[in-house]
Amino acid sequence: MRPRYRELPRGCAGSWFGEGDTLGCLNLLTVERTRAAAQLIETGEVYNLNGAVGEWPNPSPAGRDVRPAPAHYVYELVDAVVFDDYLDGLYLQGGTQWDGFLHVRDPGSGRAYGASADASTGIEAWAQRGIVGRGVLLDLASWAADAGEPIDWRSRREFSSADLSACAAAQGVEVSEGTVLLVRVGWEQGYRSLSAADRLAHAPVDPRDRQPVPGLAPAEAVAELLWDWGVAAIACDNPSLEVTPYAVELCESLHVRLLARLGMPIGELWLLDRLAAACAALGRYEFFVCSVPLNLAGAVGSPANAVAIM
């Protein structure tokens, strides 16, 4: 039986999944759970969860000169009949993406999740199996608005473990073991409202000056809840999952707690507005989700390549 968070040494799950494990919480996406998740498909409607490459977002909220948009080249391959194209300067974490295990090391051990002499923790391990199973949306933006406390997408608002539980209860949805959890704070809707000039003004010149963004609190209680729920992976519509600017040391960040210690993949900048509208209209917040990261050895991150199917 999977241990509770409080039973894990230092909040680290590596010893439980096994030495040299490369999947972390993705191990919870068993074939039985994936097969059961397929039964959630009712309408057959497919919802794209990926922003346009090079445009979502542009410039990067992390800084004007951080992760610039790639250049797209189309060229003639054969006699004005066959064409080819390529991207120059594609940042794998520049848009809708997954943070891989190599993205953050645990400051305490100096190691990424699962790192060992005979195992790679690059994102190619995720690509081999895909991230496929039951998805659940926690629409914090709508939940907060219904409670009379609408979210300002450009404010530093923390959401606690109690908030996550209350939102799930209000939506009538259970987060069970093997769930791919999607969290909406309304950042997508807010950013879409900006003009090109306003987007430029919104991006900091110095990447150390992170703009205020609502997100999950970096508290250990949040990591505890996500682990005890059995979340296989978590993604958000904001640029960071957790609230920014950061007000804690790196070792206390949610990125370290989830990626480096629990082996829980983090997704950022996912498009969740259309999916949220569909969930509200249908009165259900669970669906089939499929994401296939790039099969690139040693990759630190990857475009999400994700869809939800209702």
In a domain, 1, yes or no: no
Sign of CA dihedral 222, 227, 231, 235: positive
Of 73-87, 155-169, 203-217, the least confident:
203-217
In the chain, pLDDT over 90 holds for what percent of residues? 84
φ/ψ (deg, to 5) at 161:
-65, -35
CATH of the domain at 44: 3.50.30.50
In a domain, 195, yes or no: yes
pLDDT at 116: 61
CB-CB contact of 293 with 131 (8 Å): yes
Which residue is it, tokens 């090079």? 54
Q: Helix, strand, or coil here: 149? A: coil
In a domain, 2, yes or no: no
User: How many angstroms separate the Cα of 285 from the Cα of each of 57, 61, 137, 175, 277?
Assistant: 26, 29, 5, 10, 10
In a domain, 172, yes or no: yes
What is the chain's mean pLDDT, rounded? Answer: 94
| Confidence (pTM) | 0.96
Range of the domain at 176: 7-309
Mean pLDDT of 206-213: 86
Pairing of strands 266-268, 97-99: antiparallel
Partners of 203 in beta bridges: none
Q: For residue 117, is pLDDT > 50?
A: no
CB-CB contact of 26 with 179 (8 Å): no
In a domain, 54, yes or no: yes
pLDDT at 209: 82
Query: What is the tally of structural domains in the chain?
Result: 1
